[in-house]
Structure 1
Amino acid sequence: MSATHVEPPLDSPAVVRQEVEGLMMTHPHPLVVDGDVRACGTCGSYRGWVVISLRDEVWLRCPAGHEQHEPRLDTAWYDRHSGPVTHRHETYGDGLRDLGH
């Protein structure tokens, strides 16, 4: 897997982590952490995650809307696996809707 750094357009200020409540991205494939495929503790879903970086924690949200903290992941992991921030949203629900959840 390769990553590309993309500079924001000059008319769009860069998002600084300290300026936002949290960040989120989709992870459509199974998520493997320390050799284990992560599954939702409530419904058993193992793909279609929304990965949420909130403060110094990473949370997983399954397609059914169940959320669980993933203590083996941190903001450094999130930053390595996420792409550039493309949208800002006023609410958590707005962000989820933008991601199709």
Structure 2
Amino acid sequence: MPDFLPPDLRVPSRQEVEGLMMRWQQPLVIDGEVRSCPECGAYRDWIIFSMCDDTIHLRCRAGHTTPEPRLDPVWFNRNSGPVDHFHPTLDEGLRHLGH
């Protein structure tokens, strides 16, 4: 059966996307604890990455990235909005989110 959507309306397949990202401006509370960056102590204005290997990573405003094993893709999907852009590079995605 041929694809019913024209190419410009198709969403890239999961194999073409390394992960999803969203901005989280307020403090991130996990299990009753405010999560802070282990390197600089920042506790708000995160970029949260949901990777294709089902891991979640946090990136603070200073650019430090750390895994967050207490979160999972289900949490990410419940808290993120719809995907509104696909970016060819990480830097372009971060610029789009204001980081």
- Name the TM tier (shorter chain): 0.7 to 0.9
Relative to the length of structure 2, the TM-score reads: 0.85
Of 47, 60, 63, 1:62 maps to 60
Q: Deviations over 1:26-56 (max 9, x none)?
A: 0000000111100000000000000001121
Percent pairwise identity: 56
Q: What is aligned with 1:7?
A: none
Q: What is aligned with 2:50?
A: 53
Task: Summarize the Cα distance change of 1:27–1:53 in structure 2 as closer, same or farther, 3 Å threshold.
Answer: same
Point out which structure has higher relative CO (alpha carbons under 8 A, 6+ apart): 1
**Is the contact between residue 15 and residue 85 of structure 1 (CA under 8 Å) also seen in structure 2?**
no
Once the two structures are TM-superposed, the CA of residue 77 in structure 1 deviates from its matched residue by: 0.7
Residue identity in the other structure for 2:20: L
How does 1:13-92 map onto structure 2 within 5 Å? Answer: 13-14=10-11, 17-55=14-52, 56-92=54-90
- Point out where structure 1 has 5 or more consecutive residues left out of the alignment: 1-10
Relative to the length of structure 1, the TM-score reads: 0.83
Distance 2:69 2:82 in 1: 23
Distance 1:93 1:50 in 2: 12
Number of residue pairs matched by the alignment: 91
Q: Which structure has the greater CA radius of gyration?
A: 2
Task: Summarize the Cα distance change of 1:27–1:65 in structure 2 as closer, same or farther, 3 Å threshold.
Answer: same
- Point out where structure 2 has 5 or more consecutive residues left out of the alignment: 1-7
